[in-house]
Amino acid sequence: MAAKVGGREYGAVTVKIAFHGVARMVGTVAPSVFLPPPKVDSALVRIDRHPQSVVDVSSRELLFGIIQTGFAQRRKMLRRALVPLFGDRTLQLLEAAGIDPAARAETIELQAWAALARASEA
């Protein structure tokens, strides 16, 4: 939830949370407080909402759909991952948004996803 762009943990949920606010890890929870104890580390995350939108998009649903499609096959380059959504327009839209078509979803920040959403409506 609070992962940085380009990291292994960065995903669609991270970008969607960034749309609404700033997430940061504020603590950890020991596995021993759960039954059965998980084999993963747990964390407490605080999300401070933005007072107003940090990106200009006409439709949150469109933006979130693009993000979800981009991350659906996260190891694919965006020029391939977004074809189910944009078809033959994929390369043109990525270029219009200033996104490298060879980039992968985990390297794209919220502002670039928003630029792609705006380009898709033009």
Strands (E), 9-97: 21-29, 42-49
Write down the residue that tokens 């609070």 correspond to.
2
The Cα–Cα gap between 31 and 69 comes to 33
Dihedral sign (CA 121, 103, 68, 47): negative
Do residues 103 and 77 touch, judged by C-beta distance below 8 A?
A: yes
The structural domains of the chain, ordered by start, are 12-49 (no CATH), 60-121 (1.10.8.100)
pTM above threshold 0.95: no
Tell me the pLDDT tens digit for each residue of 3-33: 899 988 999 999 999 999 999 999 999 999 9
Tell me the pLDDT tens digit for each residue of 60-110: 999 999 999 999 998 899 999 999 999 999 999 999 999 999 999 999 999
User: Widest CA span of the chain, in angstroms?
Assistant: 53
